[in-house]
Structure 1
Amino acid sequence: MSKQSGRGHVAGLPEWDRCAVMGVVNVTPDSFSDGGRWFEADTAVKHGLDLVAQGADLVDVGGESTRPGAARVDEAEELRRVVPVVRELAAEGVVVSVDTLRARVAEQALAAGAVLVNDVSGGLADPRMVPVVAAAGAPFVVMHWRGFLQGDAVRGSYQDVVAEVVDELHARVQAVREGGVAPERIVVDPGLGFSKEARHDLELLAHLDRLRALGHPVLVAASRKRFLGRVLAGPDGAPPPARERDAATAAVSALAAHAGAWAVRVHEVRATADAVRVARAVEAAGAATAPRTPEDAR
């Protein structure tokens, strides 16, 4: 764990003295949150650079929507979307993560300059993923996943969502380690919104300490998700559109930072960058004014 914050350090990545901010670049025409605004490569690169200018510490590039019911793109198209954007951003000195379920996309993105693989299936969707990540010595985000969001998989069934997610993540982390990925390069993600209802997401956020007890840095990806829409719904029960959930996202970012998250993944960076810095300042002030014990006074 980092001596400065206890959030954990991921080998192969910079070490930040606060919760890191991961900006999202969706090179897709059908993202739930930004619907193709950054679909062209040059536009996506500019957007990634803008996110860094607004305070992103790293940028997560993805070429396939994982929203419920989204059709999968073929591998060639995903490669066409992702690799040029990764290459250009990495050439500009950006710390780049690749968001993909496919081992070949991860492999080529790493070769193009990505330094982190963010797989929402934790390596379950493609059996070659873990060997590819292990061979590259790359950091790997292991997200809690119960399958593609189709049919019954859209809403998961849980008796105790926190205990079950922790247990399932633990088992998946063990499998990833046995596959050759070094433990100091593993990040865990509770998979908010994936096979979970709003109350499940809120319970997981309320118990990030249980996820941190797994012994790996925690990534929280709450940005603009459905559970925030449920929380913000008006008297008629209608949730606001995804792009009207950024203030709520920043609130979650501050809470997650205070709870010890290693990073938060967001679409709108500036407000979250401010939120995590304020959380860090409060944390530092608390440490500076903590009551001294009698032993300290000796």
Structure 2
Amino acid sequence: DNAITLMLAVGGSTNAIVHLLAIAGRAGVPLTLDRFHELSARTPLMVNVRPAGEHLVEQVFHAGGIPAVMKSIETLLHTDALTVSGKTVADNLPSGISTAADVIATIDAPFQPPQGLAVVRGNLAPTGAVIKCSAATPALLVHQGPAVVFDDMRDMMARFDDPDLDVTADSVLVLRNAGPRGAPGMPEWGQLPIPSKLLRQGVTDMVRISDARMSGTAYGTCVLHVSPESAAGGPLGLVRDGDIIALNAHAGTLDLLVPDDELATRQAPPPRHRQRRGYAAMYVDRVLQADRGCDFDFLVGRSEQPENEPDAIFDGWVGGW
């Protein structure tokens, strides 16, 4: 909870969600996207740093850094938790709050209200997707628009600058086959570029949806980590140009407004590239979806025979030497 709360307070990267889910999975600790959503509902944005604010991370450091941020959200933390220093969180906190109020806020006057991160679900993301509301355009957090679909990154790069592309500012850009299996590797392709014809009209943001990730320094109304991904049979693979997509980040919903009987008749286009041999094939076969941390399925859960863990084996070798 402390790690998630701090990540939310600084407007941290959505990549942290995947990392924390994977760490929890290996440690055998139950953690789901729901917990991120719950903690987001109570945690405001406490730092005025890009992309959700004005300053660079360097200014946060000079204002007291992470210890000062933790002091400002002390009431939201489990301060009795033991840390790697051997002391509790409370013992490690500074005695006073940061005096740089334009960089690190007080809990009574945050830079943005809670819910800087939202988990959305619906028939387009049955097991979840995420959106960084603190770095999005507020007016787009509730939006309906027609889909403009790109089957993969190559398709997008070939067409997004086409002057004949049927796209408006109200459109919803969709990129599929960019997830753990489809890309493969779930690259940071989630901040889809605004088509040039719209940039010339002054459009600076629009709703974008993908099964990819996005850099923590990026800005935009981007729904990420759609699970299950299209390459794993997720409904993102069934979206067609012109389908109406409804996003409501406040309500936590993401839906494709197409009747179920119509969706049942559709088939998703297969990924253009299939991994058939070697490590890549093993990766695609065994990687988990984003809502479970994108780790290998055979690494989830702690070993019942710790003596067989690599570090224990290595200790034995050292002893033998």
TM-score norm. by structure 2 comes to: 0.26
Structure exhibiting the larger radius of gyration computed from Cα positions: 2
Going by fraction, where is helix more abundant, 1 or 2? 1
